[in-house]
Amino acid sequence: MSDHPRHPHTAALRRGRFALTRVMSLAACCLLAACSAPRPEIVHQPDPKPTSLLLRHAGVLDVGGGRVLADRDVLVRGDRIAAIGLGGQIAAEPGVREIDAGGATLLPGLIDVHGHVSLDSAPTWVRRMPDVEANLRSYLYTGVTTVLDPSDATPEAAERRDQIARGELLGPHLYTAGRLLTAHGGHPVALLQVAAPWWIRWYLVPGAAHQVGTPEEARAAVALEADAGVDFIKVVVDRIPEEAALMDDETLRAAVEAADARGLRTLAHIGSVRDALATGRAGVAAWVHNVYKERIPDATITELADFGIPMVPTLVVWHSYADIGGGGRIATRLERETESVDVLDAFNDDPDASALAAAFAPYLEMLRDQRPIWAENVQRLHAAGVTILAGSDTQSGVLPGPGLHRELALLHAAGLSRAETIRAATLHAARFVSGQQDPDFGLIEVGKRADLLLVEGNPLDDLDALSNIREVIVSGVPLERMPIGAATASGG
Ligand SMILES: [Zn+2]
């Protein structure tokens, strides 16, 4: 493939490059506007926003306890849960907006611990440009109120997070790792070279990742990201495809140490047992994929559990790639409500002619071979005490929001109880992303941030209830939701 440009390290050149990326990103946006129709706005903020909310007669999901407290009233003031009482017992205050839950279940808004806000989820052979704001709306529509994005290659990653926090942009609360660190020619360089449209590839490939091959390069890359205001550092230690370069242990350790020195935790993309051990020893804070390339030997399960760090298996993304060319992909309810029929149907087109299927044929074959061991690895790690967190790895085939719901079903099928599955996307996820044992969100308690999801049915009896969404409340604001199907004649 092509040679791998090294980034110049002088400050002036860095600033020059930054200015150039801004111009190029603007150019990309203009092309996007010219090439893609605007996507429907499937969520809106009410105007005016209510200052307080009273949810009447809800079953409140106690995520820590794994039970539903029947018939409760929940009062929200501003962005906080102000009071929780027995059904009908909380007095309405002037100006309050009342919602009769009628026995529906209230749970914390969901957290995607491996989302991507700047990628596109259409099949790679459709070649649609990403639409960040549409992605943000799609997460919210499906009840995802917080996203940890472990690799956002756009220069605005940290600014976007802050705009959402200031209420200037509608989206889930964001945590970002900015641009990831990988070996020269390591993942995702090869993937982008075939998956990105040719006319933007020259810009995307060098911009998507810091390609580092020495401790000095790793430290320089971490410094750039830390200066940009990221929340985490992400390293890739996995070969995709199998002949791609892999980060060496010395460079990996230097990256983790440099992140530590800036008060940042490191997230590791891994593939094999070797990668999981190397990153664990280097001191990363979490694995943001499962070991998906092989069955983990029994003795290694204990060794991995001893690191005491969580894993975000992202089973859905491996299934999605393994399914390429299989046909018969059935869209879920939330996918039909958030994505166009054309794009959903295109997943079942014959992709044999696509560059991705051709260039990655052996890799995709490996995924299909290893598919049976993914759930088993997760189940055994979970049984050994590894905290499992829910993340979708939003990208082609994994839709922003609906992808997390698919992941929850896969985690449950991998042996997590329904309560554990919900914790993986709420309380446990909140503890990890915030770094706090008693987080400000991810549970329903007086004083916590009012990121809430009201669903018909009880997800502790049937996880599918999570797709049956009546209300999504983010920072105390109940969103108006308009499914894509409702805007066309034949939604179904
Ligand atoms: Zn990812």
Q: Give the distance (Å) from ligand 1 centre to CA of residue 71.
A: 40
Q: Judge whether 211 and 244 are in contact, CB under 8 Å.
A: no
For residue 304, give the H/E element and its range: helix 298-306
pLDDT for res 16: 42
For the chain, give the percent of residues with pLDDT over 90. Answer: 80
Q: Give the distance (Å) from ligand 1 centre to CA of residue 94.
A: 46
Q: Give the distance (Å) from ligand 1 centre to CA of residue 172.
A: 17
Burial 197-222 (b: 16+ CB within 10 A, else e): eeebeebbbbbbbbbbbebebbbbbb
Q: Give the distance (Å) from ligand 1 centre to CA of residue 195.
A: 15
Please write the tens of the pLDDT for every residue from 290-312.
Answer: 999 999 999 999 999 999 999 99
Name the pTM for this structure: 0.92
Q: Give the distance (Å) from ligand 1 centre to CA of residue 463.
A: 25
Q: Judge whether 429 and 76 are in contact, CB under 8 Å.
A: no
Q: Give the distance (Å) from ligand 1 centre to CA of residue 152.
A: 9
Give the least confident one: 2-6, 315-319, 336-340, 382-386: 2-6
Q: Give the distance (Å) from ligand 1 centre to CA of residue 119.
A: 10
Q: Judge whether 304 and 381 are in contact, CB under 8 Å.
A: yes
Q: Give the distance (Å) from ligand 1 centre to CA of residue 48.
A: 37
Q: Give the distance (Å) from ligand 1 centre to CA of residue 392.
A: 8
Task: Flag whether pLDDT at 34 surpasses 80.
Answer: no
- The C-alpha atoms of residue 260 and residue 237 are separated, in whole angstroms, by 18
- The C-alpha atoms of residue 294 and residue 229 are separated, in whole angstroms, by 36
Average pLDDT on 398-421 reads 98
Locus of tokens 């896969």: 410
Q: Give the distance (Å) from ligand 1 centre to CA of residue 236.
A: 10
Please write the tens of the pLDDT for every residue from 141-192.
Answer: 999 999 999 999 888 999 999 999 999 999 999 999 999 999 999 999 888 8
Q: Give the distance (Å) from ligand 1 centre to CA of residue 237.
A: 12
pLDDT for res 486: 65
pLDDT for res 160: 97
Domains of the chain: 11-36+110-434 (3.20.20.140), 47-108+448-481 (2.30.40.10)
- The C-alpha atoms of residue 282 and residue 398 are separated, in whole angstroms, by 30
Q: Give the distance (Å) from ligand 1 centre to CA of residue 83.
A: 38
- The C-alpha atoms of residue 259 and residue 438 are separated, in whole angstroms, by 24
Residue that wins the pLDDT comparison between 243 and 61: 61
Task: Flag whether pLDDT at 12 surpasses 90.
Answer: no
Average pLDDT on 210-237 reads 97
Q: Give the distance (Å) from ligand 1 centre to CA of residue 329.
A: 22
The per-residue pLDDT of the chain, averaged, comes to 90
Q: Give the distance (Å) from ligand 1 centre to CA of residue 116.
A: 7
